[in-house]
Amino acid sequence: MKKYIIITGLIIAGIFSSCQELGSDFLDTESTSTLDESVIFSDATLAKGAVDGIKDQFGQTNSYRGRFLPYYGLNTDVEWNLNLGAGDAGAELSNYAATPTNTIMNIDPGSNLNSLSTWGIMYSGIERANICIRGLRLYGNPQPGTDTGYLLGEALTLRAIYYADLLKAFGDVVARFEPITTETLYLAKSSRDVVYKQLLADLEEAATLVPWPNETSRTVSVEQVNKAFVKAFRARLAMAASGFQRYPDAVRRSTDPDLSVAKMYQLALDECRSVISSGSAHLESSFETLWKKYNAEVVTAGGESLWEIPFSSGRGRMLFTFAVKHSGVDQFQAQGARGGSAGPLPTVFYDYDQADSRRDVTCVPYKWGTPVNEIAKQELVKSDTWYFGKFRYEWMTRRVTSTNDDGVNKIYMRYAEVLLIAAEAANELEGPAAAAPYLKEIRRRAFASEVQAVKVDAYVNTLTTKEAMFNAIVNEHKFEFTGEMERKQALIRWNLLKTNLEQAKVKMTNFKDRVGEYADVPTTLYYKYKEDGITLDIYGLNRGETTNPGAAYSNFNWTKFDDEAAKPKVINLFKEGVNPDDRQFWPIWQVFITASNGKLVNDYGYGDN
């Protein structure tokens, strides 16, 4: 049973009444909340309610739920917004064409501060975390092994999550690590290097305060922070901090010696090896098992999922946005026409090895058609449209009835990433032989035992140079994480964003015309329905499957994209004339620029606005 976040009225009224990142709406936190803090943070039960309140901001209307998660991470060399031809505000967020006045982000909340969009709502979560961190330090005597110690570790980690997402969405941001006062009401941006170093220090402390998965009752669920996640998350941030990214002056690595590749990769490798050796997490037995458990909302700690953004049943839009498309209320869900807003690029299916078990889980070439008496059948779609198979209403055990939200969590990090970070860092510091065991473990799960000698051992053993191993890791990241919106930040830190996006445009054009590397992709699919009458049996998806399988099958013209619809989609993977490397980050939205008393400005060519 999922744990729902419940915030007591006392805590809402006493601590979190007015601290938001929007100019005139700030109040002096010190004067309004000190008395409440002394009561609340000296009591572990009350303090837990306050720390849970930090998570509340993930589910606000224009926060992660409906703004950040549906749009950040699109478009990459593997994922895209399927509405790119529309030219609307959502498409602009995806195709590197966002402006400070983007209509679904640049929202004036008026008196309803919970209507703040991304940037503002993240700082609201940070402010809640700052208050909790101060209160626990002052009044809670937080020590390892104590309830208040755990809560401090959780608060530090939650603050780091908000900041990590601000950094990857906006680049340089405002550094706020103390509750707001009248003196700190308006602040300019700080270098992201300063923020990264603070987060790495915070997570180092947090790891001493929170237990391993299932070590105590507090860490039996992946909706609660645990040591494996904190260490893995710290490794992810170390890799990002030392990676390439668009600074105001250029795309480059940090020049701060504390964030050098040598130091950060060693930190990341040490943290990953600590998680691996702990035995506290592991890959699920199969890729399909992982995603079936996810959609069934299994939140037991100690498996592959390390931590998840916890949505109640009435919040969150992971399936609402990313699931295989449903055309109406059917046997699997009562939300109506939902899912299918984004999907893998049409070339991704053909980048996989045909024997890779991740392929058919990740890439789905059908939708659920118009229901008849609330029963829908699978229907093939044109070859320019694929859906993310990791998200499926049909794998849920709960029937979703809300019209706007599905309540399924967001997996924020999983053990497979620990293995890939370990492989990448070990390759850089110790060479490909040190990276090989981690890459083999990932691939061993992906391929059946009878082909592992070739697809796992022989394949990895040929990677005898750093360059070859690195390129293999970049590809493995694609095969493992397509659809999870982790690719964009990885491409940025590898300095491959522009290069791979340009390659993806060429590949999609070749696929559309069935030339070059896609000349042998079939132009006709053959299908029939299985005995259940709703599930497709498809022939012709694999290269070389061109022979008509018989009279029992119907054929489906899969030759090309619909040219009129496809052309703007291919072009708009990133907006024509835009250099994606100059648009690695979103601009700060105009409403926050205007309310900043002249302190906030946009970089990266967006102008001061």
In DSSP notation, 531-596 reads TTSSSEEEES-STT--S---TT-EEEE-SS--HHHHHHHHHTTS-TT--GGGGSSPPPPHHHHHTT
Q: Quote the pLDDT of residue 564.
A: 53
Q: Quote the pLDDT of residue 565.
A: 55
Q: Which of 144, 126, 150 is CA-nearest to residue 225? A: 150
Q: 66-100 b/e with 16+ CB inside 10 Å = b? A: bbbbbbbbbbbbbbbbbbbbeeebbbbbbbbbbbb
d(CA 149, CA 137): 9
593: its two tokens:
């620029």
Q: Quote the pLDDT of residue 563.
A: 53
User: Which residues are paired to 375 by β-bridges?
Assistant: 372
Other Cβ atoms less than 10 A from the Cβ of 562: the count is 13
Instruction: List the alpha helices (DSSP H) in 140-171.
Output: 147-170
Characterize the bridge pairing of strands 387-388 and 410-414: unpaired
**Within 13 Å of residue 325, how many CA atoms lie on the same side as its CB?**
17
List pLDDT tens digits, range 189-219.
999 999 999 999 999 999 999 999 999 999 9
Whole-structure pTM over 0.85, yes or no? yes
Fold category of 1-62+107-210 in CATH: 1.25.40
Residues in the chain, pLDDT under 50: 1-32, 608-609
How many residues would you count in the chain? 609
Q: Quote the pLDDT of residue 567.
A: 56
The residues, any chain, with a CB within 8 Å of residue 383's CB and separated by 6 or more, are 346, 365, 511, 558, 559, 560, 561
**Within 13 Å of residue 476, how many CA atoms lie on the same side as its CB?**
29
Q: Quote the pLDDT of residue 568.
A: 60
Q: Quote the pLDDT of residue 430.
A: 98
Q: Quote the pLDDT of residue 87.
A: 67
Phi, psi of 25 (to 5 degrees): -90, 0
Q: Quote the pLDDT of residue 252.
A: 98
Q: Is the dihedral of CA 479, 482, 484, 490 positive or negative?
A: positive
Map out the domains of the chain as residue ranges.
Answer: 1-62+107-210, 431-515+568-583
d(CA 125, CA 609): 26
**How distant, in Å, are the alpha carbons of 63, 226, 275, 342, 406 from that of 59?**
6, 21, 29, 21, 12
Amino acid identity, position 46: L
Phi, psi of 502 (to 5 degrees): -65, -40
229: its two tokens:
């996640």
Q: Quote the pLDDT of residue 528.
A: 98
Q: Quote the pLDDT of residue 35.
A: 57
Specify whether the CB–CB gap between 335 and 320 falls below 8 A: yes
The residues, any chain, with a CB within 8 Å of residue 432's CB and separated by 6 or more, are 463, 464, 465, 466, 468, 469
Instruction: End-to-end CA distance of the chain: give it in Å, rounded.
Output: 47
Characterize the bridge pairing of strands 536-539 and 342-344: unpaired
Q: Quote the pLDDT of residue 569.
A: 67
